[in-house]
Structure 1
Amino acid sequence: MINIFRIEVSLLLLTRLCVTSYTTKVPVVLWHGMGDSCCFSYSLGKVKSVLEENIPGVYVKSIRIGTNNIEDVENSFFKSVNEQIEQVCQELSMDEKLKHGYNAIGFSQGAQFLRAVAQKCGGPQMQNLISLGGQHQGVYGLPNCASIKHYFCDMIRRMLHYAAYTKYVQNNLVQAQFWHDPNREEEYRKRSTFLSDINNELQINETYKRNLKKLKNLVLVKFDHDQMVQPAISEWFGFYKPGQAVEIETLHNSKLYIEDRLGLKEMDANGKLHFISLDSKHLQFDIEWFIEAIINKFLV
């Protein structure tokens, strides 16, 4: 009887140790950028493998919008961003492996989408958000549009130039939903269905602000020679000064920061904001850098 008792206790302790070991591996959620998919072996599929190799036992979830990779790519161009956010919120909340929280890595537009998830979703709790080339103040230009179907890019450029803030385009064209025209600031604030909202441009949504401040770290990686994002300073929450598209205004000089409309000023004071720059083009980074600067510092 005593031996059986000891065996049961040993098994219980072993189970607890295994559970503890598992739960210390904080899951990672990925969201890809424009013209990409969750699972291409040369992009996020590779990133997923690197994460799994360097964080043994970690659960990695790569977000896919659609039933296959082609739909996922198409939806990175033509689908309401707010609908995508709502879908992802539901998907994450139903994933048992994420119930104790997760880290998130957003690639290009996937970064601001994951920030919206952090601000809007009721749970599970996002712990660290890594933004790789995210356009947090939007874009004003689409110089190097990446797409499997190249005619998408020509169509998008025409739509952005002539009708970015019309209701139809705002509800259907992804890039229009974070299109930020510095010569039409008031129109942007009032008619942008996504970016203006999550940046608290018109009014301060205290829930957005409170939820974003729950992050342990918000890591903003900017690519200094970015030929995809205009202006590249948007990757650090900067943008053009209103009324023109030449002079830059940094985050720290912006109304967003000075009035602390999103909580970034408080996060900065608490050491939660991290600004990293890379001497490279859009999303061009070495795996060694990614392991040392991102995985080892923020994900393990």
Structure 2
Amino acid sequence: MFVLFLKATVTRILNMLLILVIVASCNIVSGTTIKPIVMWHGMGDSCCNPISLGRIKLIIEDTFPGVYVKSIKIGANIIEDTENGFFLNANVQVEEVCSQLANDSKLADGYNAIGFSQGAQFLRAVAQRCPSPPMINLVSLGGQHQGVYGLPNCGYPAHKWCDYIRKILNVGAYWSWVQRELVQAEYWHDPLNEEEYRQRSIFLADINNERQLNETYRTNLLKLKNLILVRFNNDTIVEPRETEWFGFYRPGQAKEVYSLRESPLYIEDRIGLKQMDKEGRLKLIAIDGNHLQFSEEWFVSTILHGFLE
């Protein structure tokens, strides 16, 4: 009788363990173990546009049921959020987002970040300036990490302010009031006037440690598990497209470009890119297509399943 009782007990225990394994597996598949995801939109877009980030949010939630997704909104509504992407100082925006994230209890244990176009370099600034709560992985989709020198249009659909902004940048990107008031001027990088760029850029030259070395920026970026840089091979929006991988025009002209590993930023390891690369934590992904043009299947398989955790 004791043997039969022992066998029955062992069987029950094994069945219970099997049930626990199945439940745990279901939780992993459903996405409940995925860290929260923070997204930041690009120029001319908003947090919740149903054909852009609103749709992306649904895709993420379908892929990882139960995951918390925060799409950054700066302002009281979608209109203000869109306008602020043009006219609210990037440093003020980053400070506001740092406050939003710090006050969100759901992010306390860390989060993954996905930046779209200019939202990518803004999220990098968050990682460098505000390490709490911790950003785990940063995905940059078409981010302009070495800036831009040209603004052919503002994406699709083209925004009414594009021509106005283009004219100002071509004339006075480094005028003090333009730097303070126009977001795109704050990551405008003129290769014909490198010294003026370094001295007058109030955002990009700072986060790229191009004036003086801020060791905190480097230390904080190195806390990322992975920095994933996605370049769009047929990008006609970003000039030069190599900036999406930290490349840029060689100084003194605007035709020949240097690559990531040829850049002073990398060679001098000003923000930790060289170290991350050597450690296999800097991921370079190229995709054919124009700016931010990718399929749902690619996004799910390459980005969501590939790098988020």
Q: What corresponds to 2:179 in structure 1?
A: 170
For residue 236 of structure 1, the aligned residue among 242, 245, 248 is 245
Unaligned runs of 5+ in 1: 1-13
SS in structure 2 at match of 1:183: coil
TM-score, length-scaled by structure 1: 0.91
For residue 290 of structure 2, the aligned residue among 259, 278, 281 is 281
For residue 80 of structure 2, the aligned residue among 28, 52, 71 is 71
Q: What corresponds to 1:191 in structure 2?
A: 200
Q: How does 1:81-160 map to 2 (within 5 A)?
A: 81-146=90-155, 150-160=159-169
Between the aligned partners of 1:137 and 1:250, the Cα distance in structure 2 is 11
Between the aligned partners of 2:234 and 2:48, the Cα distance in structure 1 is 26
Tell me if structure 1 keeps the 8 A contact 2:115–2:121.
yes
SS in structure 2 at match of 1:77: helix
Between the aligned partners of 1:122 and 1:232, the Cα distance in structure 2 is 28
1:270 aligns with 2:275: no
Specify the code of the residue in structure 1 equivalent to 2:284: F
1:51 aligns with 2:57: no
Between the aligned partners of 1:39 and 1:108, the Cα distance in structure 2 is 16
Specify the code of the residue in structure 1 equivalent to 2:232: F
Between the aligned partners of 1:149 and 1:285, the Cα distance in structure 2 is 18
Tell me if structure 1 keeps the 8 A contact 2:234–2:290.
yes
TM-score, length-scaled by structure 2: 0.89
Unaligned runs of 5+ in 2: 1-19
Between the aligned partners of 1:50 and 1:122, the Cα distance in structure 2 is 27
Between the aligned partners of 1:149 and 1:67, the Cα distance in structure 2 is 23
For residue 300 of structure 2, the aligned residue among 275, 281, 291 is 291
Task: After the TM superposition, list the runs of 4 or more consecutive aligned residues in structure 1 that deviate by more than 3 angstroms.
Answer: 20-23, 146-151
Tell me the percent identity. Answer: 61
Between the aligned partners of 1:272 and 1:122, the Cα distance in structure 2 is 18
Q: CA deviation at 1:147?
A: 7.4
- Decide which moves more: 103-112 or 64-73: 64-73
Between the aligned partners of 2:187 and 2:163, the Cα distance in structure 1 is 18
Q: CA deviation at 1:204?
A: 1.0
Q: Which has the larger radius of gyration?
A: 2
Q: CA deviation at 1:145?
A: 1.9
Between the aligned partners of 1:146 and 1:294, the Cα distance in structure 2 is 22
Q: What corresponds to 1:227 in structure 2?
A: 236
Between the aligned partners of 2:280 and 2:256, the Cα distance in structure 1 is 28
Specify the code of the residue in structure 2 equivalent to 1:44: L
Between the aligned partners of 2:160 and 2:69, the Cα distance in structure 1 is 33
Aligned residue pair count: 283
Tell me if structure 1 keeps the 8 A contact 2:42–2:118.
yes
